[in-house]
């Protein structure tokens, strides 16, 4: 077939023109303004957690409405980084929301706390490009890291604002947390050593029941994440990690380099996510989905509209 096609092209100038037009459209379509649009979708993956579901929907909306590309969103990949990264390497996904220390530790194999956050982000981009032909685009703003959480009335009673404040009264309080946090070296044992926590009692609490136990007064202190839905409410407080014990998990977009080439508007579109969130704002969005039962796609759109990034 190839030889016949070449022969035909040589025999007919008209046919050359026709084939050239056909070849120019191969693998792409045309947008309303005449620009070439790839005939395959941008493939997005997310981890199995509310925050990631919302972020995935934000990315989908921006890519569809700002760049004009079709999107295929796969939410809730079991195993998170450990399964999404290999799938990215195989080309099964083009991009996903990832956290800086997850990439630094789980993917690149570095130790926590080796470098500053600013240096880490530059090194992440550098090493992902060298090792995986991928890069990181933008920092959304929120930091989904561990937090030590108390009830607001407890914070008011003892004047608690920081973990150092908590250390002074920890002997009067009960800590309750999920077993893996209580046992892992960088969880309760590590933070207790750093700050000198000596709680009156320590209780194993199922991860889904921690905040209920806290609010009911069964425990006084628990572990959480800085963007937990419950932290957006006035009755609980995340204490400041004033000795900077916890490593930071700032969120960004990991994207394949070939996807940036295939979808020319993709990088500038992903940059629209830069700086649009804070811990508190992310917690509030998580609350809308987890506690108010709203659909994450609606929550994502409403937020992007409110921020002036999308039009109603």
Bridge partners for 201 per DSSP: 174
Give the domain-ending residue among 222, 239, 256. 239
Q: Report helix, strand and coil shares of the chain as percent, to nearest 5.
A: 50, 20, 30
Q: Over 70: is that where the pLDDT of 2 sits?
A: no
How many folded domains does the chain comprise?
A: 2
pLDDT in tens, 236-272: 999 999 999 999 999 999 999 999 999 999 999 999 9
CATH number at residue 129: 3.40.190.10
Answer yes or no: do 80 and 106 share one domain: yes
156 in the same domain as 66: no
Do 266 and 126 reside in the same domain of the chain?
A: yes
Give the residue from 239, 269, 288 where a domain finishes.
Answer: 239
CA-based radius of gyration for the chain? 24
Count of beta carbons in the 10 Å neighbourhood of residue 158:
17
Identify whether 82 is part of a domain. Answer: yes
- Give yes or no: residues 203 and 219 share one domain: yes
Percent with pLDDT over 70 in the chain: 88
Question: Is 296 found in the same domain as 169?
Answer: no
Domain boundary among 239, 265, 284: 239
Asked if 53 and 171 sit in the same domain, the reply is: no
Residue pLDDT, tens place only, 56-71: 999 999 999 999 999 9
pTM: 0.83
Residue 14 lies in a domain: no
Same-domain check for residues 168 and 213:
yes
Residue 27 lies in a domain: no
Whether residue 143 contacts residue 278, with contact meaning beta carbons closer than 8 Å, is answered with: no
Cα gap 231→90, rounded to integer Å: 38
Q: Does residue 178 register a pLDDT over 50?
A: yes
Helix (H, G, I), strand (E, B) or coil at 204: strand
In this prediction, residue 146 carries a pLDDT of 92
H helices present in the chain, as ranges: 2-11, 13-24, 50-62, 81-90, 100-102, 117-132, 152-158, 163-169, 179-183, 188-195, 210-216, 257-262, 266-270, 279-290, 296-306
Distance CA 161, CA 266 (A): 42
The DSSP output letter for 107 is: I
In this structure, the strands spanning 221-225 and 146-151 are: antiparallel
Q: Is residue 10 part of a domain?
A: no
CB atoms near residue 52 (< 10 Å): 23
- What is the band of 152 on the pLDDT scale with cuts at 50, 70, 90? very high
Q: Is residue 311 part of a domain?
A: no
| Maximal CA-CA distance, the chain | 93
Residue 23 placed within a domain = no
Question: What is the CB neighbour count within 10 angstroms for residue 258?
Answer: 12
What number of other Cβ atoms are within 10 A of residue 55's Cβ?
Answer: 27
In this structure, the answer to whether residues 229 and 293 fall within a common structural domain is no
User: Could you tell me if residue 22 is inside a domain?
Assistant: no
Q: How confident is the model at residue 6 (pLDDT cuts 50, 70, 90)?
A: very low
5: confidence class by pLDDT, cuts 50, 70, 90: very low
Residue 94 forms part of a structural domain? yes
Residue 24 has pLDDT above 50, yes or no: no
CA nearest 98: which of 118, 123, 81?
81
Residue 11 has pLDDT above 70, yes or no: no
Provide the CA 18 distance to its chain's centre, in angstroms.
47
- Indicate whether 138 and 154 sit together in one domain: no
88-111 pLDDT tens trace? 999 999 999 999 999 999 999 998
Domain span including residue 276: 39-144+248-306
């Amino acid at each position: 077939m190839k030889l016949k096609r070449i022969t035909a092209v040589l025999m007919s100038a008209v046919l050359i023109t026709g084939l050239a037009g056909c070849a120019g459209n191969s693998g792409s379509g045309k947008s309303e303004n005449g620009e070439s649009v790839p005939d395959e979708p941008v493939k997005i993956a997310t981890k199995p957690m509310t925050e990631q579901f919302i972020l995935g929907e934000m990315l989908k909306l921006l890519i569809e409405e700002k760049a004009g590309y079709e999107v295929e969103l796969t939410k809730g990949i079991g195993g998170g980084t450990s399964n999404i990264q290999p799938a990215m390497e195989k080309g099964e996904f083009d991009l996903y929301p990832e956290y800086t220390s997850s990439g630094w530790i789980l993917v690149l194999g570095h130790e926590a706390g080796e470098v500053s956050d600013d240096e880490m982000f530059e090194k992440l981009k550098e090493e992902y490009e060298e090792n995986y032909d991928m890069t990181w685009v933008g920092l959304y703003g929120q930091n989904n890291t561990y937090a030590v959480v108390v009830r607001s009335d407890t914070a008011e009673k003892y004047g608690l604002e920081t973990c150092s404040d908590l250390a002074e009264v920890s002997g009067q309080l009960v800590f309750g947390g999920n077993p893996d946090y209580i046992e892992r070296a960088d969880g309760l044992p590590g933070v207790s050593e750093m700050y000198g926590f000596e709680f009156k009692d320590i209780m194993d609490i199922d991860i889904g029941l921690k905040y209920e136990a806290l609010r009911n007064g069964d425990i006084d202190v628990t572990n959480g994440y800085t963007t937990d839905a419950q932290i957006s409410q006035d009755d609980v407080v995340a204490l400041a990690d004033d000795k900077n014990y916890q490593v930071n998990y700032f969120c960004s977009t990991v994207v394949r380099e070939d996807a940036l080439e295939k979808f020319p508007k993709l990088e500038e579109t992903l940059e629209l996510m830069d700086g649009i969130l804070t811990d508190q704002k992310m917690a509030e969005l998580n609350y809308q989905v987890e506690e108010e039962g709203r659909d994450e796609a609606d929550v994502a759109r409403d937020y992007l509209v409110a921020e002036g990034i999308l039009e109603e």
